[in-house]
Structure 1
Amino acid sequence: MTDDAELEELKAATQRGDRNDEVDTEGPTTFTDEIVDALEAIEQGELGKTIAVRDQPIAALLATLDADGNEDKMQSVGQALEDELGREHSEAFDRSEIVRLALRVGLQAAAEETMVDLNDAVGEHARQNL
């Protein structure tokens, strides 16, 4: 081996990278790990943090809940959703909060394991960013 080849091999073996370049020694990536990666990508601006849903009846419901005079109904719906999630009641709701809560209630009821994965990922993401 020539000196240049040895030098290049030594450089490659000792080159530093960041934590994302490290070899994964914990085994295959889990769904939770993928959610953690997606949370990081959202924080870095690589993925959008908003979602859009096309559903005419739900859009009509949300617009009606948000209309003047329906504050009590909006509050009632929001608190019912919070009750399903075991959360303390909020003082006010908007359409976005109603959708967030409803999505979580639906996932909790229909895909509980997925919500466990999500909650684990949020916790892991928070630990990584302390």
Structure 2
Amino acid sequence: MQRIDTLLSHVWMVRAFLKHSPEAEEDEELCEVHRTLYDYMLALGGPLKERNAAAYLAQARKKLSKLRKARDDFAALQPQVSTHTNFQMANASLTAAVDEIARVLVAAERDEARQSAISKD
């Protein structure tokens, strides 16, 4: 839970950058990317506040496909929107953070399965 929340700080910065960029005012698809990033983080806020790791991880898994789609959409849009270094770095940062979140979720699922198998023995 803590590792994902740390990674979400990168997602938040990309979201803030996109939201406040003049380019986003002109591009509805780009607006949809920053809205999706916000929705993902908002969905995890309650379980994080309650320190409910099981609910947090379940929600993170449930919404991961939308987060990945936002990553992919931004990667496709970015060269068309701007080739400025800030946009390139935002793309790299979002890609790295989302990929690492996915890896953390896979590892957590493996750990949960192992713990379940151990407790059945």
More helix by proportion, 1 or 2? 2
When the two structures are superposed, what TM-score results if normalisation uses the length of structure 1?
0.26
RCO higher in structure (CA 8 A, sep ≥6): 2
